[in-house]
Structure 1
């Protein structure tokens, strides 16, 4: 078995970022992984300090020292209840750039962010910079939006049967090894609108619908078998409609505490899970979201 890899969590010291740090510490403890706590000083204030006081000013050093002090305090609080090896990283500049650099430096196997930070993390997760981060890294990204009172118990994994779907299942098992997986796929009837416009009988359309559902069911069973899941570890969920809405509906109705998405699927919408679907799930959902960002052909990083 490969040695566990580090987990990198970025924090802006807000309450929601604290949830992310607590979840990261729990995961590090459960997987015997090292934990790196990181804070990124926003670039504009640091630039202003350098303009006014010089690049090596005592004021800039004081700001950096205060960030490191807060990181050490947070690490001390987390490790008082979780047995975790930790390190700290403080940087100044573009949050996505600095997070990617730090992840490369420590060879992080998982990146963790809070969903509603007070500063750069809010812009990072809900703004365009989140897309920059996803596109620039092949490391899984966990967006935390709830307290980490317990390990994940029920995980909704959205799949579209692209090559990334199996990766999403494997990643879900690594992050939540004791959880039950709800494997979800959303189907539609090909050209349903055109069929209705052409006056095709409703009974014929329903036959196409049943065929699409049956095909999805067969693919789900084959995918679970390929991923090595036993019947006790998973349950299927096949629904029709809009992917964004159905993911949020099933997350809530099936009492899941984590959703796993694959940003590089092969769905009809080119931005499925990288753009509109991810944003919808983050804004409208209530639980943590894990993004599997590995591109085709890249090896899965050992983290188990």
Structure 2
């Protein structure tokens, strides 16, 4: 039995299921992944990093910067390379973050909101941590953000992170 000091109400809890972090390779995704790695390290959890490959009709040119180099490469292959590069860069920048050094990576195709929610349910995620660009105006009123839609529909806690390092 462990000894607890009087007045010390802290209790070490582990999160149930992995912490799911959908990424789009933006600064907001990076900020979300760093927060999620802190949570995973503190709560004894694991990270599941997800990238959803969009239908090209939804975001034409999204993978274009790498497609020019490999004109015949499939979109999934390009997205996989981008995910690997994104993670490799973060691991090198933050070697002290244990959960970030050994995350599970998952690449799926589909509509982001739908696929994020499906993966969260299938993987029994304990929580979701995702970045948001904070789009405003008419575009936001008509479409809403992926993060806002996921937060409204998810059956588990969702934390939305904005990158304020450049402000």
Give the structure-2-normalised TM-score: 0.64
- 1:214 paired residue number: 80
CA RMSD of aligned residues (A): 3.5
Structure 2 residue 142 is matched with structure 1 residue 281:
no
- 1:151 paired residue number: 14
CA–CA distance in 1 between the matches of 2:162 and 2:83?
A: 25
- The alpha-carbon deviation at position 285 of structure 1 amounts to 1.6
- Higher RCO (C-alpha under 8 Å, 6+ residues apart): 2
Structure 2 residue 24 is matched with structure 1 residue 160:
yes
C-alpha contact 2:131 2:147 (8 A) present in aligned 1: no
Within 5 Å, give how 1:218-229 maps onto structure 2. 218-225=84-91, 226-228=93-95
- 2:111 paired residue number: 242
2:107 alignment partner, SS class: strand
Q: For residues 162 and 265 of structure 1, do their structure 2 counterparts lie closer, same or farther at Cα, with a shift above 3 Å needed?
A: farther
Higher helix share: 1
After the TM superposition, which of the residue ranges 215-224 and 284-293 deviates more from structure 2?
215-224
- The alpha-carbon deviation at position 222 of structure 1 amounts to 2.1
Q: Which 5+ residue runs of structure 2 have no aligned equivalent?
A: 1-6, 61-71
Count of residue pairs brought into register by the alignment: 138
Within 5 Å, give how 1:282-297 maps onto structure 2. 282-297=151-166
Q: For residues 207 and 173 of structure 1, do their structure 2 counterparts lie closer, same or farther at Cα, with a shift above 3 Å needed?
A: closer
- 1:83 paired residue number: 9
Give the structure-1-normalised TM-score: 0.38
Q: For residues 222 and 242 of structure 1, do their structure 2 counterparts lie closer, same or farther at Cα, with a shift above 3 Å needed?
A: same
1:161 alignment partner, SS class: coil
C-alpha contact 1:188 1:209 (8 A) present in aligned 2: no
CA–CA distance in 1 between the matches of 2:151 and 2:80?
A: 30
Structure number with larger C-alpha Rg: 1
* Residue deviations 1:22-46 (CA, integer Å, cap 9, x gap): xxxxxxxxxxxxxxxxxxxxxxxxx
* Residue deviations 1:83-108 (CA, integer Å, cap 9, x gap): 27xxxxxxxxxxxxxxxxxxxxxxxx
Moved over 4 A (4+): 191-194, 229-232
- The alpha-carbon deviation at position 158 of structure 1 amounts to 1.2
Q: For residues 285 and 232 of structure 1, do their structure 2 counterparts lie closer, same or farther at Cα, with a shift above 3 Å needed?
A: same
- The alpha-carbon deviation at position 163 of structure 1 amounts to 1.5
- 1:187 paired residue number: 53
* Residue deviations 1:57-93 (CA, integer Å, cap 9, x gap): xxxxxxxxxxxxxxxxxxxxxxx9x727xxxxxxxxx
- Choose from 40, 55, 64 the match for 1:176: 40
Q: Which 5+ residue runs of structure 1 have no aligned equivalent?
A: 1-79, 85-149, 195-205, 299-304
Q: For residues 173 and 232 of structure 1, do their structure 2 counterparts lie closer, same or farther at Cα, with a shift above 3 Å needed?
A: closer
